[in-house]
Chains A and B, each alone.
Chain A
C-alpha cells in the first residue's frame, strides 16, 4: 500500500504520509508559491516545479523528504529565429519560445532519464538527473507542431508523457490541443496518431483531425501498455492498440466531461474519472461530487459517492489532480476548492484528508 502522497497547490507543496493506519499531513513546503507539478523519482528525491509568476518557472529538488529544497536547472527554449513564423492559430498571437509552465514531469527509471512537458508545447529530456535539459528538437521542429493551439491555457502544452514500461524508446504524449503523439525511436521521430478522437469544438470537416484534438489527460496501464484511457474535452476515449486508434465511450453517467483519469496498473479494463458538467461550467452535476469507475473496459460505469459531499459541492479536479498507487487499490484526488480525498478500496469509500488546502494542481503517490 502506498505510504506517501505529494500534492502541488496554488500555495506550495504538501506531503501526506500513512502511519499507523491513518493518513496525516507530514510536510508543507515551498509555501506561498504555486507548485504546478511534483514527481517522486526512483532515487527517493522529490521534484517540484514552481510558477513564480513575475519571476518565471523554477525547479526544486528535495532529497530529505521535503525538509530542504535546492534550486535545479530549468528547461530553456532556444533563441527564436527572427524570421520564424510561429503563431497560435486560435488567438493569432506569437507562440513564445519561453517556458511558461512545467505541465508534465516523468522519469524513465531504466535509463535514469527525466522527461518534462511544458507550455508552450516543448518536450525536454535530461540524461543527467536534471543537471541539464535538452529540447527534443524533432518534435519542436515538426511542421505539425504549429497546428497545435491553446485551449484553457493561452498556448498549447504537453501534459501527458508516457514512457512504455516494455521499451523506453516508445514514448506517448498528450497535447492540449494537439492530440496524441508517439515516438518509437526514443524521441528521434514523432507521429500524430489517436485516430477516432472527436472534437465537437471544431467545424465538422475538422472534427476528426488527430492533431487538433484536446485530450485533457492520457494514462497507460503499466501491465498492458497498449491500453490507454483518455479523458478528452469531448468525452472519454480508450485505445487498445497503443494509441493508434481510439474508441469513444459514450455511456458514462452522470457526465463524460472531466480532466483527470486513472487506470488500474494491472487491469486495463478498470479506470476512474471525476466528472463535471460539460464543458464551460465544470462543476459536479447537482453539486454532488462523484467518481465514476468502469471495470469492464467502458461498457458500464459505477457512480461512487461514499464519503464524498453530495450537496453544494463545486469542486473541479484538474487533469493532474487524480492518481492511483502502484498496487492499484489506493486512489487520491484533489480539487480547485482545496479538498483532498483518498480511497484505499478502489473508490468504494472515500475519506477527506484535508478540506482547507490551497487550490490543488496535482496529486501523485510517492511510493
Chain B
C-alpha cells in the first residue's frame, strides 16, 4: 500500500488526510484518492490533469519525473508527498 501525504498548507483550504491506497503509479494513486476526496484534485492538478506548476510531488524522496501524465511507478510501500514548490505562488 502506498502512502499519500499532503502539505499542511493545503489543509487550510480543503480536507486532505493522509491515506494509504493500492496503486502502481502516481496517476492511479491520485485517482483513487480523488474518488474519496474529489475537491483535492483541483488543488494539485491543473485543467489538463498535469501537476500544477507550483506544486511539488516527491516519490520516495525524489521529485517525480512525469508531471504531465503522472506515470512514475510506485513500490508496494512507496511514500508520496505533495508539497508547495518554493517558487512563485
Q: A residues bordering B, Cβ < 8 Å?
A: 52-56, 58, 71, 74, 76-80, 96-99
Interface centre among B10, B13, B14 (most CB of A within 10 A): B13
Cα–Cα, bound, A79→B10 (Å): 25
The reply to whether B89 and A53 form a contact with Cβ atoms under 8 Å apart is yes
The reply to whether B54 and A54 form a contact with Cβ atoms under 8 Å apart is yes
Residues of A within 8 A of B47 (CB): 76-78, 97-99
Residues of A within 8 A of B24 (CB): none
The reply to whether A71 and B39 form a contact with Cβ atoms under 8 Å apart is yes
Residue of B nearest to A33 (CB): B13
The reply to whether B89 and A56 form a contact with Cβ atoms under 8 Å apart is no
The reply to whether A56 and B42 form a contact with Cβ atoms under 8 Å apart is yes
Residues of B within 8 A of A53 (CB): 54, 88-89
The reply to whether A54 and B85 form a contact with Cβ atoms under 8 Å apart is yes
The reply to whether B48 and A79 form a contact with Cβ atoms under 8 Å apart is yes
Residues of A within 8 A of B9 (CB): 54
The reply to whether B48 and A97 form a contact with Cβ atoms under 8 Å apart is yes
Residues of B within 8 A of A96 (CB): 46, 48
The reply to whether B46 and A52 form a contact with Cβ atoms under 8 Å apart is no
Those of B40-89 within 8 Å (CB) of chain A? 42-44, 46-49, 52, 54-55, 84-85, 88-89
Distance (whole angstroms) from the CB of A161 to the closest CB of chain B: 20
The reply to whether B55 and A54 form a contact with Cβ atoms under 8 Å apart is yes
Distance (whole angstroms) from the CB of B83 to the closest CB of chain A: 9
The reply to whether A74 and B42 form a contact with Cβ atoms under 8 Å apart is yes
Distance (whole angstroms) from the CB of A73 to the closest CB of chain B: 9
Residues of A within 8 A of B43 (CB): 52, 55-56
Distance (whole angstroms) from the CB of B62 to the closest CB of chain A: 20
Distance (whole angstroms) from the CB of A177 to the closest CB of chain B: 22
Cα–Cα, bound, A98→B42 (Å): 11
Residue of B nearest to A51 (CB): B89
Distance (whole angstroms) from the CB of A270 to the closest CB of chain B: 41
Cα–Cα, bound, A96→B48 (Å): 9
Residue of A nearest to B39 (CB): A71
Cα–Cα, bound, A45→B13 (Å): 21
Distance (whole angstroms) from the CB of A366 to the closest CB of chain B: 25
Distance (whole angstroms) from the CB of A23 to the closest CB of chain B: 31
A-B contact pairs, 30 of them (CB 8 A): A52-B13, A52-B43, A52-B89, A53-B88, A54-B9, A54-B54, A54-B84, A54-B85, A54-B88, A54-B89, A55-B10, A55-B13, A55-B52, A55-B55, A56-B42, A56-B43, A56-B46, A56-B52, A58-B13, A58-B42, A71-B14, A71-B39, A77-B47, A78-B47, A96-B46, A97-B47, A97-B48, A98-B46, A99-B46, A99-B47
Residue of B nearest to A99 (CB): B47
Distance (whole angstroms) from the CB of B85 to the closest CB of chain A: 7
Interface centre among A58, A80, A96, A98 (most CB of B within 10 A): A98
Distance (whole angstroms) from the CB of B55 to the closest CB of chain A: 6
Residues of B within 8 A of A99 (CB): 46-47
Cα–Cα, bound, A96→B52 (Å): 12
Closest 9 CB pairs of A and B: A53-B89, A54-B89, A54-B54, A55-B43, A98-B46, A98-B47, A77-B47, A54-B84, A76-B47
Residues of A within 8 A of B46 (CB): 56, 96, 98-99
Known A52-B13, A96-B46; 19 more pairs at CB < 8 Å = A52-B43, A52-B89, A53-B54, A53-B89, A54-B9, A54-B54, A54-B55, A54-B88, A55-B43, A56-B46, A58-B13, A71-B39, A74-B42, A76-B47, A77-B47, A96-B48, A97-B48, A98-B47, A99-B46
Residue of B nearest to A75 (CB): B47
The reply to whether A98 and B55 form a contact with Cβ atoms under 8 Å apart is no
Cα–Cα, bound, A54→B52 (Å): 7
Distance (whole angstroms) from the CB of B51 to the closest CB of chain A: 11
Residue of A nearest to B89 (CB): A53
Cα–Cα, bound, A74→B54 (Å): 19
Residues of A within 8 A of B89 (CB): 52-54
Distance (whole angstroms) from the CB of B77 to the closest CB of chain A: 28
Distance (whole angstroms) from the CB of B69 to the closest CB of chain A: 12
Interface centre among A56, A78, A79, A96 (most CB of B within 10 A): A56
Residues of B within 8 A of A77 (CB): 47-48
